[in-house]
Structure 1
Amino acid sequence: MASTNVDPATEADYLDLKMEQYLSVLYTSLPDQPVSTTARLTARRATPSDGVDRISELPDALLRDIISRLPAKDAARTAVLATRWRRVWLSAPLVVVDTHLLDHWPPTRADAPAVTAAVSHALAAHPGPFRCVRLVYSRMGERQAALKRWLRLLAAKGVQELVLVNRPWPREVPLPSTLFTLSTLTRLYIGVWKFPDAAGLRGVSFPHLRELGLCLVEVENGDIDAVVARSPVLEILNIQGSLRGKCLRLVSQSLRCVQVCTSVTVMESIEVVNAARLERLIVCEDMNLSGVCTRVKIGNAPKLKLFGYLEPGKHTLEIGDTVIMPGVEASPSMMLTTVKILSLHVCFGVHKDIKMMPAFLGCFPNVESLHITSAKCDQPTDKLNLKFWEDEAGPIVNVLLRIRVMTFREFRGEQYELSFLRYFFKSTYALNQAVISLANPSFTSRSEDEMISSVVNMRIGNFASEFEVLFYVSTGPEGLSRWTFKRGAKFSDDDPFATVKIIPRYMVRNIVFQYLHVVHCSRIVLHMLSEHWIVIRFY
């Protein structure tokens, strides 16, 4: 937008709009807010009111817990009720969220000074500790002095969770090294900053930090490694769109989950050197226009159970000292036998990418759940058929012996997708269920019925096992929704890749089917489960 033709106010509004688009992805990566201004408390009286203040009869510990679950403004208002309430408020671990300090939302550029002043007042008025401080609105490039004062207050008063996001323009605002003095942190997320030089760490550490998120942060190589090494109980490391640091080298005895999600910029190297407790490694790229391959090297990770999204053509996989290549015979030193859940992002129409797929699969002989996302291929390089898979892929041991569930997302009914499915269904011995998630018909040249028919009518031949194939019709965006850190770090979810959850076999057996129609084939029966689910039973 040319500033010579647009008044300053209009140009500022335009930049604000672009900034919101830029930050929208970042916000989805942040932890959920711990308190809400829209929650409503419903009181239910067992007896008529007798005028007795029963809330004040509660013990101080319980009242502190109640206050710590209120937005900062509401928590502060309790201090005027009585002397006791003020004492309780002063000792309660508070939550400060800058977006709650305004009477309206969304804010305007003119609100920035008021928000900064409100945050300064909230942090100064309370002696601490702070359960959570979430500051995502302030334009800190213009308020460096206030930022330093905030960090000093948080260090002195004890903050447990901190989410600190800068509003861009300028984008690379340096974070003061005072950040390294926040020794009480259990969770830290920072966004759109220039990370302080890790040399400033010296002898300090983060003894209580369990979760670290860096979103669109400019870091130098080695800075993240240094913070991880000084965080003895760190379990979750999330990185989104590192803006300078291209290499990540992990040495940790506590990490359980590492997620690296890049967009325009690409992490050139991710090396798991020694991670004794690492269970989940998730690497995904929303957009890679540079053509640079990410080197993913696995050294010592004896508990690694979940691994994805590996992309042939975009990821180079290295196990130990061996680079995995097509045609290289798998040996025990090249196998990650602990991995049970594997996710691949594959462009089935590109020959060189498909040739990598058997090599990748051969490194995971004990995979039980395989999740495949089919990437859109505008210019296929070859029409791959069943003969390719039978001749070149050969008998992949984990496909034949281990895989019990499989999901195939973004299925468009293309010939090169069907060739893989034919090979898979003919070869697998342990498969119980497969889910084929059809791409949103709004973004494809085929209808829902055409995509389903392409699977139902394909010539498969003899089956190695009895299994069921369930279809799900996607109503989401093309290429699926962006990955979120909350999905991957939710340890109670055994398989976060299975966004379309497999229906248990007993449910399929016991449900009363509404017959859509029966295919005239003794081996295949097609049923309708619901508006979006269809199941094919292969016998």
Structure 2
Amino acid sequence: MAPESSQPAKKRRTYRCRRCGFPKKGHVCAAAAAAPGDLPLLPSPEEEEKVDGISALPDDVLHTIISLLPTMGGAKTQVLSSRWLPLWRSAPLNLDDAEIPDLWEDFLLNVITEIITDHRGPTWRLSITKLARVNEFRGDLVATLDDLLRSGTLDGLEELRFHYRPNMTAPDPLPPAATRFSCLRVASFGFCSFPGAGVLGGVAFPNLQELTLLAITNSEDTLHAMISACPVLRSLLLRDNDAFRRVRISSPTLVSLGLCSRTSDMEELIIDNTPSLERLLMFRSSDKLPRVVSVFSAPKLEVLGCLSDGISDEHYGVVVWPQQLRVNSMAMLRTVKILAFRIEENSLDATVHILRCFPCVQKLHITLAEGLFVPDIHNGLVDDAAAIECLDLHLKEIVVRNYRGQKSHAAFAKFFVLNASVLKVMTFRACVRLSKKWLSNQRRLLRLREKASPNARFEFSCDGYFMDYYYNHSQRSHQLSVGDPFDD
């Protein structure tokens, strides 16, 4: 007799009928023999209503849902059922021409006009960014767009984004009706010129909290008039406004100010009477920023950057970064908690000077310039080794970008490893391939075993070469809920 197998017998899989649930082998499905009309393949209308809980919501709630969808997504809700069919035309309109499928410019304008004209409800958001001022078939569109913006459907408009297509010739005038909306909370104007300062002086935006000006061809007088017309403004972003030369920002409610430019035409930025300002964000390298940034009153400033490391000694009570930053007193800088700067020079002394100017900083973003060379640094020490308050008491997080791992970079980073007493995490955003050998060599060069903070972690990640904080980051000027606008 054959010996019994020690392995348990495999359990056969039982295939069951998908209609009745009985095992398929050797049975005739009774459900298959039923008349087609007896099979519950689709739920009845009564059952459908029970399953579709969204359609049972009140019209006001459904209107809100539709208005939060993209333009085409909101329009497509009309085909869901007879319940949804009339809702889109009466819901608050969210119209963005960038979300409309590609059309000839002439047809696109017709579609926008038809949607606004036929809409029976209010409009809460309008974005026009794909139209040029001059149309091949219609000619100058300023008057046409002005008539469109005067539509009664737009009377309660809360968000407006009006950008002409970029034009490298003459300035494109903004339709006068674009400044008529007193209910605006968010506004963005781009590649256009505003009416004269005298006309703008009568404009008021009593509810405007978020303003973006992109490639405006007016002088800074128009900007000053706009700020005066916005009594509750909280965030302001200035991008590529080459005609602005000497800008003065004075607003009791402004929380965040962002600057971003491809050129360096602005000569001076003056921050005056900004008791609520918490963020001063400059999203380019130092040679593309205002030559002088003077901060006279910003008692709540907590986030600052991106600066360069060309810093000089205190002079007549004013701390000066050449072509960069001036403040009234050192005490003003004690409020800064997050600081971003770029290392352009070849000396660690400049960085140490920056750290002394910001004694309460808790997080640093440091971008290393290509070819940075730091000579004669011994064991992470500098000539002036006096105590640095932020290293001893406050600095908890450091992000180093463009780290390559050569001796000069390691010597620079080692200074923080050996001196930051309360450091929690230091992140190296390397622009080289990370291998086990490379990481092992870095731990040796950085002397991580001798770290000043016993709880510090050191993390390495592989990134591409980081040029500048630019447009992707500049939109964070308006994202006040984001704790650190310099984080990726």
Indicate the SS of the match to 1:115.
helix
Residue in 1 that maps onto 2:393: 401
Asked whether 1:138 is paired with 2:125, we answer no
Residue in 1 that maps onto 2:115: 122
Please give the alpha-carbon distance, in whole angstroms, between the structure 1 residues aligned to 2:313 and 2:64.
48
Indicate the SS of the match to 1:204.
coil
Structure 1 residues 433 and 170, CA gap change in structure 2 (3 angstroms): closer
Asked whether 1:417 is paired with 2:414, we answer no
Query: Does structure 2 conserve the Cα–Cα contact (< 8 Å) formed by 1:247 and 1:269?
Result: yes
Please give the alpha-carbon distance, in whole angstroms, between the structure 2 residues aligned to 1:127 and 1:203.
31
Structure 1 residues 224 and 451, CA gap change in structure 2 (3 angstroms): farther
Candidates 383, 391, 413, aligned match of 2:383: 391
Asked whether 1:473 is paired with 2:461, we answer yes
Structure 1 residues 155 and 146, CA gap change in structure 2 (3 angstroms): same
Indicate the SS of the match to 1:224.
helix
Name structure 2 gaps, 5 residues minimum.
1-40, 136-140
Structure 1 residues 50 and 384, CA gap change in structure 2 (3 angstroms): same
Residue in 2 that maps onto 1:485: 474
Candidates 146, 149, 165, aligned match of 1:148: 146
Asked whether 1:243 is paired with 2:239, we answer no
Deviation at 1:334, TM superposition (A): 5.0
Residue in 2 that maps onto 1:262: 261
Structure 1 residues 471 and 73, CA gap change in structure 2 (3 angstroms): closer
Indicate the SS of the match to 1:50.
helix
Deviation at 1:319, TM superposition (A): 11
Residue in 2 that maps onto 1:503: none
Asked whether 1:275 is paired with 2:306, we answer no
Residue in 2 that maps onto 1:59: 58
Indicate the SS of the match to 1:222.
helix
Deviation at 1:432, TM superposition (A): 2.1
Indicate the SS of the match to 2:150.
helix
Indicate the SS of the match to 1:275.
coil
Deviation at 1:294, TM superposition (A): 2.5
User: Number of aligned pairs?
Assistant: 433
TM-score (structure 2 length as normaliser): 0.77
Name whichever of 113-122 and 358-367 sits farther off. Answer: 358-367
Deviation at 1:318, TM superposition (A): 9.9
Deviation at 1:458, TM superposition (A): 4.3
Deviation at 1:77, TM superposition (A): 7.3
- The root-mean-square deviation of aligned C-alpha atoms, in Å, is 3.7
Deviation at 1:56, TM superposition (A): 6.3
Cα deviations across residues 440-487 of structure 1 (Å, max 9, x unaligned)?
A: 44xxxx978437624533468954331434233223354367442344
Query: Does structure 1 conserve the Cα–Cα contact (< 8 Å) formed by 2:121 and 2:153?
Result: no
Structure 1 residues 396 and 167, CA gap change in structure 2 (3 angstroms): same
Structure 1 residues 422 and 56, CA gap change in structure 2 (3 angstroms): closer
Residue in 2 that maps onto 1:433: 425
Candidates 291, 296, 299, aligned match of 1:294: 291
Asked whether 1:357 is paired with 2:351, we answer yes
Query: Does structure 1 conserve the Cα–Cα contact (< 8 Å) formed by 2:207 and 2:232?
Result: yes
Query: Does structure 1 conserve the Cα–Cα contact (< 8 Å) formed by 2:201 and 2:225?
Result: no
Deviation at 1:419, TM superposition (A): 2.7
Deviation at 1:57, TM superposition (A): 5.2
Deviation at 1:249, TM superposition (A): 1.4
Structure 1 residues 495 and 56, CA gap change in structure 2 (3 angstroms): closer
Please give the alpha-carbon distance, in whole angstroms, between the structure 2 residues aligned to 1:68 and 1:85.
14
Query: Does structure 1 conserve the Cα–Cα contact (< 8 Å) formed by 2:216 and 2:241?
Result: yes
Cα deviations across residues 266-305 of structure 1 (Å, max 9, x unaligned)?
A: 433222101111111111215847xx76312222112111
Please give the alpha-carbon distance, in whole angstroms, between the structure 2 residues aligned to 1:468 and 1:169.
52
Please give the alpha-carbon distance, in whole angstroms, between the structure 1 residues aligned to 2:397 and 2:238.
29
Deviation at 1:76, TM superposition (A): 5.8
Residue in 2 that maps onto 1:371: 365
Cα deviations across residues 54-88 of structure 1 (Å, max 9, x unaligned)?
A: 776543312322332345566567789879964x5
Cα deviations across residues 234-261 of structure 1 (Å, max 9, x unaligned)?
A: 1111122212112321111211111111
Which amino acid in the other structure matches residue 165 of structure 1?
A: H
Residue in 1 that maps onto 2:229: 230
Please give the alpha-carbon distance, in whole angstroms, between the structure 2 residues aligned to 1:183 and 1:74.
28
Structure 1 residues 293 and 182, CA gap change in structure 2 (3 angstroms): closer
Please give the alpha-carbon distance, in whole angstroms, between the structure 2 residues aligned to 1:278 and 1:319.
25
Which amino acid in the other structure matches residue 297 of structure 1?
A: S
Structure 1 residues 201 and 318, CA gap change in structure 2 (3 angstroms): farther
Which amino acid in the other structure matches residue 377 of structure 1?
A: G
Cα deviations across residues 506-539 of structure 1 (Å, max 9, x unaligned)?
A: xxxxxxxxxxxxxxxxxxxxxxxxxxxxxxxxxx
Name whichever of 212-221 and 271-280 sits farther off. Answer: 212-221
Please give the alpha-carbon distance, in whole angstroms, between the structure 2 residues aligned to 1:469 and 1:52.
56
Cα deviations across residues 332-385 of structure 1 (Å, max 9, x unaligned)?
A: 645411111111111253x5xx5543333222111111221112137x5x7352
Query: Does structure 1 conserve the Cα–Cα contact (< 8 Å) formed by 2:163 and 2:190?
Result: yes
Cα deviations across residues 409-461 of structure 1 (Å, max 9, x unaligned)?
A: 111124333332232222222212211111244xxxx9784376245334689
TM-score (structure 1 length as normaliser): 0.70
Higher Cα radius of gyration: 2
Structure 1 residues 355 and 427, CA gap change in structure 2 (3 angstroms): closer
